[in-house]
A and B are shown apart, each in its own frame.
Chain A
Amino acid sequence: MIRMKPVDVVIVGFGWTGAIMGMELTEAGLNVLALERGTYRDTSPDFTYPHNADELAYGIRGDLFQPLAKETITIRHALTETAVPYRQYGSFLLGNNVGGAGIHWNGQHYRPSPEDLVFESHNRQRYGSKFMPDDMQIQDYGVTYDELEPFLDQFEYLCGTSGRAGNLNGEIKEGGNPFEGARKREYPNPPVADNYGAKLFADAARSRGYKPFPQPSSNASRPYTNPHGVRLGPCNLCGYCERFGCFMYSKASPQTTILPVLMRKPNFTLRTQSHVTRINLDNTGKRATGVTYIDAQGQQVEQPADLVIVAAFQMHNVRLMLLSGIGTPYDPNTGKGVIGKNYAYQMMSNVTVFYDKDVAINPFIGAGSGGNQIIDEFNSDHFDHGPHGFIGGGYILGGQTGGRPIQQLLLPPGTPGWGEKWKRAAKDSYLHTTGVQSHGSVMAYRDRYLDLDPTYKDSFGLPLLRLTFDWHDNEYKMTRFLTDRAQEIADAMKPRQTSQTIRKAGDHYDVRQYQTTHTTGGVIQGASPETSALNRFQQSWNVHNVFVTGASAFPQNLGYNPTGLIGGLTYMSTKAIRETYLKNPGPLVQA
Chain B
Amino acid sequence: MNARSRRRKGGGLIRAVVVIVVLIALAWLATLVFRGGGGNASASAPAPNDDLIKQGEYVARLGDCAACHTAPGGKPFAGGLPIASPVGTIYSTNITPDPTTGIGHYTYGQFERAVRRGIDAEGHTLYPAMPYPSYAKASDQDIQALYAYLMHKVAPVEQVNHAEGIPWPLSMRWPLTYWRWLFAPKVSTVETAATGDAALARGQYLVEGLGHCGACHTPRAFTLQEKALTPTDGTDYLSGGANDNWVAPSLRGELASGLGSVNEEDIVALLKNGRSERSAVFGGMGEVIEHSTRHMSDEDLAAIAHFLKTLPPARQENAITYDEATRKALTSGNVGATGAQLYVDNCATCHRTDGHGYGEVFPALAGNPVLNGPSADSAIRLVLHGGTMPVGRDAPAQFSMPAFRDRLSDQQIAEILTFVRASWGNRGDEVRAPDVSRLRDLPPTGHPLMTGYDPRAAMPAAKP
Give me the interface of A with B, judged by CB distance under 8 Å: 40, 42-45, 48-51, 222-223, 225, 228-234, 236, 238, 247-249, 256, 259-261, 263-264, 270, 272
- Digitize B376-414: 1 where CB-to-A-CB distance is under 8 Å, 0 elsewhere: 000000000010100100111111101100010000000
Sorted nearest first, the 4 A-B pairs with minimum C-beta distance are: A44-B400, A263-B453, A48-B402, A45-B449
Interface pair B388/A260, CB less than 8 Å apart? no
- For B388, B394, B402, which residue has the most chain A Cβ atoms within 10 angstroms? B402
18 sampled A-B residue pairs with Cβ under 8 A: A42-B451, A44-B388, A44-B399, A44-B400, A44-B450, A49-B349, A223-B360, A230-B396, A230-B397, A233-B399, A234-B358, A249-B361, A249-B399, A260-B397, A260-B453, A261-B396, A264-B452, A270-B455
Nearest A-chain residue to B345, judged by Cβ: A50
B328 proximal to A (CB < 8 A): no
Cβ distance A544 to chain B, nearest Cβ, rounded Å: 33
Interface pair B349/A272, CB less than 8 Å apart? no
Set of chain B residues within 8 Å of A45, measured between Cβ atoms: 386, 400, 402-403, 449-450
Cβ distance A266 to chain B, nearest Cβ, rounded Å: 12
B362 proximal to A (CB < 8 A): yes
Set of chain A residues within 8 Å of B388, measured between Cβ atoms: 44
Interface pair A231/B449, CB less than 8 Å apart? no
CB < 8 Å neighbour of A264 from B350, B386, B396, B400: B396
B454 proximal to A (CB < 8 A): yes
Set of chain B residues within 8 Å of A234, measured between Cβ atoms: 358, 361
Whether A248 touches B450, Cβ cut-off 8 Å, given contacts A231-B361, A260-B397, A260-B398, is: no
Classify the secondary structure of A's interface with B. Answer: loop
- For A50, A231, A270, which residue has the most chain B Cβ atoms within 10 angstroms? A231
Give bound CA distance, A260 to B407, whole Å.
29
Given contacts A40-B456, A264-B396, 10 further A-B contacts (CB under 8 A): A42-B454, A44-B400, A223-B359, A228-B396, A231-B395, A249-B361, A249-B397, A256-B397, A260-B397, A261-B396
Interface pair A44/B358, CB less than 8 Å apart? no
Set of chain B residues within 8 Å of A260, measured between Cβ atoms: 391, 396-398, 451, 453
Give bound CA distance, A225 to B451, whole Å.
18
Cβ distance B60 to chain A, nearest Cβ, rounded Å: 20
Give bound CA distance, A42 to B394, whole Å.
21
Nearest A-chain residue to B406, judged by Cβ: A51
Classify the secondary structure of B's interface with A. Answer: loop
Give bound CA distance, A472 to B74, whole Å.
62
Set of chain A residues within 8 Å of B349, measured between Cβ atoms: 49, 236, 238, 248
Interface pair B453/A259, CB less than 8 Å apart? yes
Cβ distance A143 to chain B, nearest Cβ, rounded Å: 32
Give bound CA distance, A256 to B397, whole Å.
8
Give bound CA distance, A40 to B451, whole Å.
12
Interface pair A44/B402, CB less than 8 Å apart? yes
Set of chain B residues within 8 Å of A231, measured between Cβ atoms: 360-361, 395, 397
Cβ distance B380 to chain A, nearest Cβ, rounded Å: 18
Cβ distance B418 to chain A, nearest Cβ, rounded Å: 21
Interface pair A40/B454, CB less than 8 Å apart? yes
- Digitize B48-71: 1 where CB-to-A-CB distance is under 8 Å, 0 elsewhere: 000000000000000000000000
CB < 8 Å neighbour of B402 from A49, A256, A270, A272: A49
Set of chain A residues within 8 Å of B361, measured between Cβ atoms: 223, 231-234, 249
Cβ distance B342 to chain A, nearest Cβ, rounded Å: 12
Nearest B-chain residue to A271, judged by Cβ: B455
Nearest B-chain residue to A257, judged by Cβ: B397
Nearest B-chain residue to A224, judged by Cβ: B361
Give bound CA distance, A44 to B403, whole Å.
10
- For B361, B391, B400, B403, which residue has the most chain A Cβ atoms within 10 angstroms? B361
Cβ distance B255 to chain A, nearest Cβ, rounded Å: 28
Cβ distance B279 to chain A, nearest Cβ, rounded Å: 14
Give bound CA distance, A260 to B397, whole Å.
5
- Taking CB atoms and an 8 Å cut-off, the chain B residues in 151-182 that contact chain A are none
- Digitize B252-293: 1 where CB-to-A-CB distance is under 8 Å, 0 elsewhere: 000000000000000000000000000000000000000000
Interface pair A42/B395, CB less than 8 Å apart? no
CB < 8 Å neighbour of B362 from A51, A228, A233, A264: A233
Give bound CA distance, A548 to B349, whole Å.
40
Give bound CA distance, A287 to B385, whole Å.
52
Interface pair B449/A40, CB less than 8 Å apart? no
Whether A233 touches B396, Cβ cut-off 8 Å, given contacts A40-B455, A42-B454, A44-B388, is: no
Set of chain A residues within 8 Å of B450, measured between Cβ atoms: 42, 44-45
Set of chain B residues within 8 Å of A233, measured between Cβ atoms: 350, 358, 361-362, 399
Interface pair A44/B449, CB less than 8 Å apart? yes
Give bound CA distance, A234 to B350, whole Å.
9
Interface pair A48/B350, CB less than 8 Å apart? no
Cβ distance A289 to chain B, nearest Cβ, rounded Å: 27
Cβ distance B258 to chain A, nearest Cβ, rounded Å: 27
Interface pair B358/A223, CB less than 8 Å apart? yes
Give bound CA distance, A45 to B404, whole Å.
12
- Taking CB atoms and an 8 Å cut-off, the chain B residues in 415-464 that contact chain A are 449-456
Nearest B-chain residue to A43, judged by Cβ: B400
Give bound CA distance, A236 to B350, whole Å.
8
Give bound CA distance, A238 to B345, whole Å.
12
Set of chain A residues within 8 Å of B402, measured between Cβ atoms: 44-45, 48-49, 51, 247
Set of chain B residues within 8 Å of A232, measured between Cβ atoms: 361, 397
Set of chain B residues within 8 Å of A261, measured between Cβ atoms: 396
Cβ distance A517 to chain B, nearest Cβ, rounded Å: 27
Set of chain A residues within 8 Å of B358, measured between Cβ atoms: 222-223, 233-234
Give bound CA distance, A264 to B453, whole Å.
6
Nearest B-chain residue to A256, judged by Cβ: B397
- For B391, B394, B395, B397, which residue has the most chain A Cβ atoms within 10 angstroms? B397
Cβ distance A225 to chain B, nearest Cβ, rounded Å: 8
Cβ distance A247 to chain B, nearest Cβ, rounded Å: 8
Nearest A-chain residue to B393, judged by Cβ: A229
Cβ distance A586 to chain B, nearest Cβ, rounded Å: 35
Set of chain B residues within 8 Å of A256, measured between Cβ atoms: 397
- For A40, A44, A232, which residue has the most chain B Cβ atoms within 10 angstroms? A44
Give bound CA distance, A260 to B390, whole Å.
12
Set of chain A residues within 8 Å of B391, measured between Cβ atoms: 260, 264
Set of chain A residues within 8 Å of B407, measured between Cβ atoms: 50
Give bound CA distance, A272 to B454, whole Å.
12
Cβ distance B268 to chain A, nearest Cβ, rounded Å: 17
Interface pair B451/A48, CB less than 8 Å apart? no
- For B360, B396, B403, which residue has the most chain A Cβ atoms within 10 angstroms? B396
Cβ distance B6 to chain A, nearest Cβ, rounded Å: 67
Set of chain A residues within 8 Å of B455, measured between Cβ atoms: 40, 270, 272
Give bound CA distance, A529 to B452, whole Å.
45
Set of chain A residues within 8 Å of B403, measured between Cβ atoms: 45, 48
Interface pair B394/A229, CB less than 8 Å apart? yes
Interface pair A48/B362, CB less than 8 Å apart? no
Give bound CA distance, A229 to B396, whole Å.
7
Give bound CA distance, A301 to B398, whole Å.
34
Cβ distance A187 to chain B, nearest Cβ, rounded Å: 19
Set of chain A residues within 8 Å of B386, measured between Cβ atoms: 44-45, 48
Nearest B-chain residue to A258, judged by Cβ: B396
Set of chain B residues within 8 Å of A222, measured between Cβ atoms: 358
Interface pair A248/B350, CB less than 8 Å apart? yes
Set of chain B residues within 8 Å of A51, measured between Cβ atoms: 402
- Digitize B334-367: 1 where CB-to-A-CB distance is under 8 Å, 0 elsewhere: 0000000000001001100000001111100000
Whether A229 touches B453, Cβ cut-off 8 Å, given contacts A44-B402, A223-B361, is: no
Give bound CA distance, A59 to B360, whole Å.
31
Nearest A-chain residue to B456, judged by Cβ: A40
Give bound CA distance, A218 to B194, whole Å.
52
Give bound CA distance, A51 to B397, whole Å.
21
Give bound CA distance, A44 to B386, whole Å.
10
Give bound CA distance, A192 to B42, whole Å.
69
Give bound CA distance, A40 to B359, whole Å.
28
Nearest A-chain residue to B388, judged by Cβ: A44
Set of chain A residues within 8 Å of B400, measured between Cβ atoms: 43-45, 48
Cβ distance A371 to chain B, nearest Cβ, rounded Å: 16
Give bound CA distance, A16 to B57, whole Å.
38
Cβ distance B351 to chain A, nearest Cβ, rounded Å: 11
